[in-house]
Chain A
Amino acid sequence: MPFFRFILYRLLQMVVVLLGAITILFVVLYLLVPGDAAQVSLGNHASPEAVEALRSHLGLDRPIWEQYGLYLWRAIHLDFGTSYDLNRSVSSIIADYLPATAYLAGGALLLETLFGIGWGMYLTTNRSLRLSSLSTIASAILLSVPVFFLGLLLQYFFASKLKLLPISGLGGWNPLNLVLPALSLAAAQSVIIAAVMKTTLAEEMRKPYILAARSRGLSRSRAMRSHAMRNALGPVVTILGIDLGVLLGGAMITEIVFSWPGLGRMTYYAAQARDVPLMLGGVIVLVIIFIVINTLIDIVYGLLDPRVRLGGGFGE
């Protein structure tokens, strides 16, 4: 029974957050835009027909609660209307572009997990003041480099100069094409994973069960690998879930640098073309994906570690 209640509770929470997120966008679109939302969104050069079409699509001619109802109803049904530019249903366009974005974000998530956990472990085993300050500076730099600048630098050195890797594009899903975009997307996040990993791992290494494990003959590093690691991974998994949102947002920018045919680049061109339904649809889908995946991570994690489900903290 607690299983069901836990899952039910998390799902309920997810619905609330989803509704909240979609409502925030509604408030901005319908209430914060000064004057005529359709006109503002489309810009001053839009044709009167386009403005009128958007106005009726958004339901701007109806009372506010009806607008909200219509908006919610459509969002729930993933009905984002028709793209002005491409004259196709927005959801079908999104479905076309989604796989490339998922591929990129997945690659980056994998990279940052491997790199972040490895680096965090290395910092925990080799503790010295110099290494620690060096790592702090390096982390700060990686956190400060905008993803597009890093992407351009990587492109320049690895693709243009050294000709080691393809410069851009999906290239028929060739994994080599994934390396540079995923790397630039993952860089800043892996620093955060490493920091979380280092902190939690060092904390676990100070706990009595590590001493007890070593008293049974495990070396320090083996005690870390087979005991401290499992207990330190919890917070890291949670951060990875949160990171996914950053990755999806960053993917929008990375995709432009690397001409990656994903949702981000699609949304970018939609924004350039003032194709409001397409653009809003793209963003809402990314937000929904983020929230749903985070809920799933929480649920799976709760199933794996009963202490979370029962409300206890890690390693208490």
Chain B
Amino acid sequence: MSEPLLKINNLNVVYGASAQSHVVKDVSFALDAGETIAIIGESGTGKTTLALAVAGLLDRNAHVDGQVIFDREDLLALPEEAMCKVRGGGIGMIFQDPRGSLDPSMKVVDQVAEPLRLHQGMKKKEARRQARHLLEAVSISDEVIAVAPHAYQLSGGLCQRVMMAAALACNPKLLIADEPTSSLDLTLQAQIIELLRERQKASGLGVIFITHDLALVAKIADRIMVMHNGAIVEQGSVEAVIDNPANPYTAGLVSAWTGGREGEGIATA
């Protein structure tokens, strides 16, 4: 069983007919079960597109080619129906804007129950009961959702927990987290990361963590991949990349971070 959980070979994404908008260029990497890989880079560099391409969620006008082998199956070759089973079943996702990622008019419990009904064939009542347990597991009590059943009544941090409960409801093997904490303040960010780690320890979840925040990467990732203009410019263990960046772009990112950190230190001192 030395097969990695996810193996991406020469993934390319081009929008439209012209080659001008080549958003993801020839990306290849592998991820083992229980491992966390962080993809960093500036915004607009193709990180989100990469994540959506893995989950098969890109618009119809995006041309994707290459291989996305998950659980020994090439996802790009799967028909849409089978892909729907993978999403939420084998692969869970959480996003940058937690409140916007929840349907404003549906109770959050029902949104957590949704994948259970879809993938595990649960009846409405049963799924809702299970969803309450799942929310409990991310520290959202019954009382909270009784008082504030809708997303607009919950804080951003709570919304992101709901999203996690929904994404992990069917015990997926892979979680793609697209800047899940960048709209949250530091305390909430730490709570979400802690939650993620717990789940990872318990179930051997593989995580792709997309961020532009190096500090966060240092805390959670096993490996790091630096993306620039759609291509992976550097990858390796966290220590190796941060302590000794080989690529000038990475060096820039690292020095901006350390510089920022020193600045912070001075400001708070």
Which chain A residue has the least Cβ–Cβ distance from B100?
A208
Q: How large is the interface on A (under 10, 10 to 19, 20 to 34, 35 or more residues)?
A: 20 to 34
Bound-state CA distance A146–B181 (Å) is 57
At the interface, is chain B mostly helix, strand, loop or mixed?
A: mixed
Q: Which of B103, B115, B152, B163 has the most CB of A within 10 A?
A: B103
Which chain A residue has the least Cβ–Cβ distance from B152?
A307
5 residue pairs bridging A and B, Cβ less than 8 Å apart? A212-B95, A213-B114, A214-B87, A216-B87, A216-B118
Bound-state CA distance A280–B163 (Å) is 59
Taking CB atoms, residues of chain A closer than 8 Å to B93 are: 212, 215
Q: Quick one: given A214-B57, A219-B80, are A208 and B104 in contact (CB under 8 Å)?
A: no
8 A Cβ contacts from A286-316 to B: 305-307, 312, 315-316
Interface residues of A (CB under 8 A from B): 207-209, 211-219, 226-227, 230-231, 305-307, 312, 315-316
Check if B114 sits within 8 Å of A231, measured CB to CB.
no
Bound-state CA distance A216–B80 (Å) is 14
Q: Which of B86, B91, B102 has the most CB of A within 10 A?
A: B102
Check if B95 sits within 8 Å of A216, measured CB to CB.
no
Interface residues of B (CB under 8 A from A): 52, 55, 57, 80-81, 84-89, 91-93, 95, 97, 100-106, 111, 114-115, 118-119, 150, 152, 163, 166-167, 169
Bound-state CA distance A305–B105 (Å) is 8
CB of A152 to closest CB in B, whole Å: 43
> CB within 8 A of A209: which of B80, B86, B104?
B104
Q: Quick one: given A208-B97, A211-B57, A307-B104, are A216 and B152 in contact (CB under 8 Å)?
A: no
At the interface, is chain A mostly helix, strand, loop or mixed?
A: helix
CB of A220 to closest CB in B, whole Å: 8
Which chain A residue has the least Cβ–Cβ distance from B91?
A215
Q: Which of A208, A217, A226, A315 has the most CB of B within 10 A?
A: A217
Bound-state CA distance A227–B102 (Å) is 10
Q: Which of A212, A213, A214, A305 has the most CB of B within 10 A?
A: A212
Bound-state CA distance A208–B119 (Å) is 22
Taking CB atoms, residues of chain A closer than 8 Å to B166 are: 212, 216
Taking CB atoms, residues of chain A closer than 8 Å to B81 are: 219
Bound-state CA distance A316–B166 (Å) is 21
Bound-state CA distance A123–B101 (Å) is 24
Check if A218 sits within 8 Å of B101, measured CB to CB.
no
Taking CB atoms, residues of chain A closer than 8 Å to B150 are: 306
CB of A193 to closest CB in B, whole Å: 20
CB of A309 to closest CB in B, whole Å: 12
Taking CB atoms, residues of chain B closer than 8 Å to A231 are: 103-105
Bound-state CA distance A307–B105 (Å) is 9
Bound-state CA distance A207–B86 (Å) is 22
Task: Other than A209-B101, A307-B152, give 5 A-B pairs with Cβ distance below 8 A.
Answer: A208-B95, A209-B100, A217-B88, A217-B115, A219-B80
Q: Closest 4 A-B residue pairs measured CB to CB?
A: A217-B88, A216-B88, A215-B93, A212-B101
Which chain B residue has the least Cβ–Cβ distance from A231?
B105
Bound-state CA distance A316–B106 (Å) is 14
Q: Quick one: given A211-B57, A230-B106, A307-B152, are A216 and B100 in contact (CB under 8 Å)?
A: no
Check if A216 sits within 8 Å of B103, measured CB to CB.
no
> CB within 8 A of B106: which of A208, A227, A315?
A227
Q: Quick one: given A215-B92, A216-B88, A217-B119, are A209 and B167 in contact (CB under 8 Å)?
A: no
